[in-house]
Amino acid sequence: MIDLKYLQNNFVEASAKLQKKGVESATLENLQILFKRLKESNAKLESMKAEQNAMSKLFGQYKKEGKDIGELKAKVDANKEAMLPVQEKAREAQEALYEVALAIPNFPDESVPEGANEEDNVELRKVLEPRSFGFKPKEHWELSQINGWIDFERGVKLAKSRFAILKGEASRLERALINFFLDINRKKGFEEYSVPFINNAMMLQGTGQLPKFGDDLFKIEDEDLYLIPTAEVPLTNMYNDEILSEKALPLLMTAYTPCFRKEAGSAGRDTRGIIRQHQFSKVEMVAIAHPDNSEEVFEMMVEHASDILSQLKLPHRVVELCGGDLGFSAARTIDLEVWLPGQNKYREISSVSNTRDFQARRAKIRFKDGNKNRLVHTLNGSALAVGRTIVAIMENYQNEDGTIEIPEVLKRYM
RNA sequence: CGGGAGAUGUCAGAGUGGUCGAAUGUGCCGGUCUUGAAAACCGGUGAGGGUAAUACCUCCGGGGGUUCGAAUCCCCCUCUCCCGGCCA
């Protein structure tokens, strides 16, 4: 959630920032009005409550002293009656404010380039040259057919479309990648976790998936529970509603989890192959950082993810997302896009974001700064998306006959 | 899923209708002492909102109710622990 006090006091600036993310200024004006209304009704309610409390105290005193309480009771009853509509109004103001506030995206950083969609993202650098093939490289789904790696039909039978089965060598490759990623993350200082793949609604609100993006989530029937769309949710929310000691920061965490996404609104996109599935494997990094140095942690995470791709000898490029392509919670995001020779395109394989205090405010994650409590900064990034790494290995390591080499660094894992 | 017990500050744990945001211990921070540390002693120390700062408001798992007044009484829910069932 954005800082409402900041919005209140710096409305023009705040509104200009959110314009980058396509938020109408009318929405913000409305939010400002709701905030003001809440403050007013709260002030009124609180003063009435103070009066009520004072009278109740008197009441006890009178009774003890044996004084007549008839008149006081009449006053207290009247005040109580008068308080009801004020209370109701304050409650409504609170609800109205939160409904709007929780749907406002994070402020983008000043450095975020202007732009409407991914066309306007800015390439920062390319890492490694794509190799030249002496033949026309195939797409991963063709290769999977040749090698018998992916069973699309039976995946669909078991669940529905956009579910697939990895078989044999491909399944082993997935396991190898998970281990490789976790090991390399651990060496970088990320503590490894194994977390629940199902989280409750409060946690999903903490990281920003709810209430606005419920349509993208698989919900457990009759329960207040959801399949996680990324390990960012459990890892970040481990510290939901906690106050950390300053010494503990930064907390660096990593976990492998399957991720479940409904992919609402992606109909027709990437329907062939395993680029976009309802369930996919991912190893995620999450950092809970001191607000003074979260940007350094961010750079470190980007470098680290890029380094993993380099170790796999996968050509990729580093891309800064423009305002329009930035996710809901992110102040800044850098994507790593891996080269897919079969598709003849760079495709996203990791996305590293600094959400600053946006998730921390929602999830109430704070740290002790002296004797005051301050919001932490939270960051997350894939290291890496496993399914897409398999695709990248298939396409980049293919031979003319369709067979696939295994990257050197993975050999000891297979 | 069935039976019993419970949910209070970092933790342990008192508190059964008013002066209780909450005893005491512990932890943590600061100080005295010490070459340094430990021990001992002294002081400080829950969270959120509000204010220029005070006032002031809210919070004793969550929601509702009774009452002038609820951590304390009543109802519902959730969770935890123990016993049994089922089970990796």
Domain check: are A77 and A136 in the same one? no
pLDDT of residue A69: 77
What's the Å distance between residue A358 CA and nucleotide B45 C1'?
A: 28
ipTM for the whole complex: 0.86
- Decide if A317 is catalytic: no
Same domain for A10 and A148:
no
Indicate if A138 and A41 belong to the same structural domain. no
Looking at the fold, whether A67 and A162 belong to one and the same domain comes out as: no
Is the domain of A41 the same as that of A145? no
> What is the DSSP pairing of strand A251-260 with strand A191-193?
parallel
Do A194 and A271 lie in one domain? The reply is yes
Instruction: Assess if residue A25 is contained within a domain.
Output: yes
* A77 in the same domain as A123: no
Kindly state whether residues A85 and A142 are assigned to the same domain: no
Catalytic residue among A142, A175, A348, A374: A348
Residue at A112 is within a domain: no
Q: Do A374 and A279 fall into the same domain?
A: yes
Residues A310 and A363 in one domain: yes
CA of A246 to C1' of B34 (A): 29
Please say if A91 is a catalytic residue: no
Nucleotides of B under 7 A from a protein CB: 10, 18-19, 45, 47-51, 56-58, 68-69
Q: Is residue A107 part of a domain?
A: no
> In the numeric block, which tokens belong to residue A4?
């409402």
Catalytic residue check, A276? yes
Residue A80 pLDDT: 87
A155 and A55, same domain (yes or no): no
Residue A249, pLDDT score: 84
Residues A64 and A205 in one domain: no
Domain coverage including residue A184 = 118-413
Residue stretches of chain A with pLDDT short of 50: none
DSSP characters over A345-395:
EEEEEEEEEE-TTHHHHHHT-EEEETTEEEE-EEEEEEEEEHHHHHHHHHH
Q: What is the amino acid identity at position A385?
A: A
Q: Is A208 contained in some domain?
A: yes
If you average pLDDT over every residue of chain A, what do you get?
92
The CA–C1' separation of A199 and B78, in angstroms, is 15
> What is the structure's pLDDT at A371?
72
Q: Which residue is nearest to nucleotide B68 (CA to C1')?
A: A56
Q: What is the pLDDT of residue A412?
A: 95
Protein CA A259 to sugar C1' B32 (Å):
57
Q: What is the CATH number of the domain that holds A30?
A: 1.10.287.40
Number of domains in chain A: 2
